[in-house]
Amino acid sequence: MPPFDIITTGAGPAGLLAAGEAARRGRRVLLLEKMEKPARKLRITGKGRCNITNTGDWSAFEAHIFPAARSFRPAFMHFPNTALIRFMEEEAGVPLIEERGRRIFPRSSRAQDVADALVRWTKRQGVTIRCHAEVTRLLVDRRRATAVEVRLDRRTEIIAARALIVATGGLSYPATGSTGDGYRWAETTGHTITPTRPALVALALVEPPAIAAPLTLRNVALTLLIDGREAGEEGGEMTFTAAAVEGPTILRLSLRAVDALRQEKKVALRLNLKPALSPRQIVRRLEREEREYAPAPLAAALRRWLPAPLVAPFMAQARLTSAKNAAGLAGLTESDRARLVRTFHEWEFPVAGYGGYDRAVVTAGGVSMKDIDPKTMRSRTIENLFWAGETLDLNADTGGYNLQIAFSTGYLAGLSAAAACELPDANVPARAPAD
């Protein structure tokens, strides 16, 4: 009999929960992590604050998960956001707080606290965690995983187990250990890999406005244009950096932009600086300000409408010259006013490219869900191999949805792997656990 029932590779949120849940059901579990400590990426997620989940129901989640939310639904139903919140507070001992957008954070606003609590909980379940343990290969015999090859310091070791769980993450933030190991193992074991690319990532502009960056704009609307056609719209907050744009609205549009750019299509962003005002309302307010304020340069009037660093680029975009600036609002012709209003509502920025995996929040693509039984997270190719987390072809918008994917798929993989180890004939596929 092998020394361990289950080996889990990757000690991120999916791997930790999978290992802990399997151990809690009496399995001997080894968790292997190639970095110096577990949960490296989790410790920096959400800009160090860790947006754990979202309090929306399944219908709310379904709208934010790609490419096919239905393949995630069984895992969510086994371990929904309500169960995750209860687990964090009652078992892991992490007090939580709900913020705008139904987002759940640790009360301390420290991702480090979430990571440390999750590691402590996993160890309490009896999981053996080895760090600096890089899995280099899965050993497979006749559609069954039999062992892993592990590099430990200067030696290589073969460790056998009755079932394996792969939760090695994607390609985003490779410095934390996410270097796509699981994708390589998936290919060598006959799985299909949906092409991977950065998701929730900044977009580089062809001609960024000449401003002192970063500059954050709030309550704006953005429309994504692909080959001149509208392909998506988001409202909220965005940030100009030196050569790119980022922030919640950009991140939610980014995957569609990335896919279009990879297909060599023309991509642009149309910025509406005043989505709450109609063109007629803008004109009326300009006319009112003409009457209420003493004559002043146009730039001074626009500072009542825009952040100061954006005024000069805005005027350049609207072709309002220095002479027009000196003449003020009263000096604008009808065509000047039309361009000004159009710039408020339709300022376009051609997109040149996108950020790399070092800045992408998550990875899109991965192990095809067609090769995974969504009711158990078991491979359809290898009978005792289970997958969880970002290795899968599942990704989501910002707002806590991606971590919920990690926790839910990890939980279900742990339950299913534990159930598989109960079977007297290990060649029999795992059944969906009853929870």
Instruction: List the strands of the sheet with 53-54, edge to edge.
Output: 53-54, 103-106, 96-99
3-state class (DSSP) for residue 392: strand
- Burial of 332-357, coded b for 16+ CB within 10 Å and e otherwise, reads beeebbebbbebbbebebebebbbeb
Query: Position 9: which residue type?
Result: T
Residue 428 scores a pLDDT above 50:
no
Query: pLDDT tens digit string along 311-339?
Result: 999 999 999 998 888 888 888 899 999 99
Compute the average pLDDT of residues 174-189: 96
Backbone angles phi, psi at 55, to 5 degrees: -85, 5
Residue 353 scores a pLDDT above 90:
yes
Residue 1 scores a pLDDT above 90:
no
DSSP 93: -
In angstroms, the first-to-last Cα distance of the chain is 28
* H-only helix segments in 359-400: none
What does the pLDDT read at residue 290?
A: 80
Compute the average pLDDT of residues 413-419: 98
Helix (H) or strand (E) holding 241: none
DSSP 153: T
pLDDT band at 424 (very low <50, low <70, confident <90, very high): low
3-state class (DSSP) for residue 230: strand
Pick the closest to residue 14 from 104, 97, 75 (CA basis): 75
What does the pLDDT read at residue 295?
A: 77
Residue 294 scores a pLDDT above 50:
yes
- What's the pTM value of the predicted model, to 2 decimals? 0.93
Query: Mean of the per-residue pLDDT values for the chain?
Result: 94
DSSP 175: G
Measured distance CA(235)–CA(219) in Å, rounded = 7
Q: How many helices (H) and strands (E) does the chain have?
A: 13, 22
Is-contact 132 152, C-beta < 8 A? yes
